[in-house]
Amino acid sequence: MSTTFQIDTATSRATPTPQPMKRLTVPKIQNRKADGETKEPLVMLTAYTARQAQLLDEHCDLLLVGDSLGQVIYGLPSTLQVTLDMMCAHGAAVVRGSYHSVVVVDMPFGAYEGSPQQAFESASRIMAETGCAAVKLEGGEAMAETISFLSQRGIPVMAHIGLTPQAVNALGGYGARGRSQEEHAKIISDGKAVQAAGAFAVVVEGVVEPIAVSLTQSLDIPVIGIGASAQCDGQVLVVDDMLGMFERVPRFVKKYGNLAEEITDKVQQYASEVRARSFPTEDQTYQPKS
């Protein structure tokens, strides 16, 4: 069953609904890089719920419904346990909550690696059920055939190279990539391969900075960094990490707030008032009409 339906602003807490604005498109994102340069870097954050999307949408060019939701929403040990059902449900919520950003949905592990046809079936389901503009998949040269297959059939693809979390077992951990000359060459060749296959942009994660700069300069499509370099064409972070919802975050994350501490403080205040019977007060209860 499709999960694409509109928020009922008469009954939903998600009010007031932001004023609709013209949504960015995949070609507009790709065209932000012209003659090898992106004058205004692309802003991208993860989003997993309609309300998150509403709050982030105005300030972002792209919203990524990342398979990181497995860890930050569901408490799973990695992204490997994430399912298509999860991605479709959260992707639809983010599309409902946004009006401006290009919404990109991650393809979960096991949903696309088997064959280009399998990838098409998964991607077409994601796009049909969520209303998103594009999908993202991990892998460089190895996934070039699949990226080409999808792109030729009208499915915009964002690639993801460097540190690829779905391949963490094969990589041997989450360490930075590109410290050897062989890895350096592979990352550059991966970037060129996904561009040639038709990817409209590529995320480069967890690589040593000179490689990120070199990759950005060598590709015509936007290179979006995470743990890479400020010289990339854009940046992406997991929103829960940058807002300070977790104590432990990757070293490349800058915490712009400490929401976990603020939430803990407010919940402690609520619990104290309940136990002291000072909440609710007359303002929060219904009294007989005189």
43-84 pLDDT per residue, tens: 999 999 999 999 999 999 999 999 999 999 999 999 999 999
Provide the 3-class DSSP secondary structure of residue 233: coil
Report d(CA 240, CA 106) in Å as an integer. 17
Supply the range of the domain harboring residue 94.
Answer: 26-258
pLDDT, tens digit (0-9, with 9 covering 90-100), for 192-217: 999 999 999 999 999 999 999 999 99
CATH number at residue 51: 3.20.20.60
Q: Indicate which residue of 205, 262, 273, 282 is catalytic.
A: 205
Measure the CA angle with vertex 112, ends 94 and 118; round to 5°.
110
Handedness of CA 126, 130, 136, 138 (dihedral sign): negative
Domain count, the chain: 1
Say whether pLDDT at 228 is over 80. Answer: yes
Residue 110 in contact with residue 138, Cβ under 8 Å?
no
Does any domain span residue 231? yes
**What mean pLDDT is reported for the chain?**
91
Does any domain span residue 272? no
Does any domain span residue 19? no
Report d(CA 211, CA 101) in Å as an integer. 28
Say whether pLDDT at 171 is over 90. Answer: no
pLDDT band for position 184 (50/70/90)? confident
pLDDT band for position 2 (50/70/90)? very low
Residues tagged in the binding site annotation for Mg(2+): 67, 106, 138
Does any domain span residue 6? no
Does any domain span residue 187? yes
Reference 241, options 255, 229, 260, 226; nearest CA is: 255
Does any domain span residue 11? no
- Asked about 37 being catalytic, the answer comes back as no
Handedness of CA 213, 219, 223, 226 (dihedral sign): negative
Q: Residue 149's Cα: distance from chain center in Å?
A: 23
Residues tagged in the binding site annotation: 67-68, 106, 136, 138
Does any domain span residue 288? no
Does any domain span residue 282? no
